[in-house]
Amino acid sequence: MITVNSGNVVVDGIWLWRADHDIQGLVYESRNPVDTGLMVNGDNVVGYGLACEHTLGDMLVWNGNNGRSYFYQSEYPYDVTQANYGDKGFVAYRVGDNVTSHEAYGIGVYSFFRDTSVTVENGIKAPASAKFHNSLSVFLDGNGQITHVING
């Protein structure tokens, strides 16, 4: 939905949402496809009040160095299956393997797999150099689980 390629950017108060319903009612079978809500490729980017929900890939991908985020809320898609989502290793917040510095505060990953039982291994995936504070996962309702909050 949004890609930040520039450095020294502030992203403030965004809610990036793949529609889980439309004028015909609930969305099923991965309709309304969107892979990623926010992708950050620039260095020295700061995010305040970020939300990405229901995308069909990694919800947030942070590839830039020296990034910081303060409050992130996410919810996995309701209408996916284990084969098209859980087995592919998608996460709610991914920091790229080549990132040497990243810090995040208040990162929440929620699940409500409505239609089938889906297990995702990790809510957050990041290299050891990244620092996360007050991160959590929440099972809202439905089926399946988030096995680990971060990195197993």
Active site residues: 75
Q: Report the alpha-carbon distance of residue 101 to residue 99 in Å, rounded.
A: 6
What is the CA angle 138-139-145, rounded to 5?
115
| Closest C-alpha to 101, from 79, 77, 69, 73 | 69
Q: Report the alpha-carbon distance of residue 125 to residue 99 in Å, rounded.
A: 12
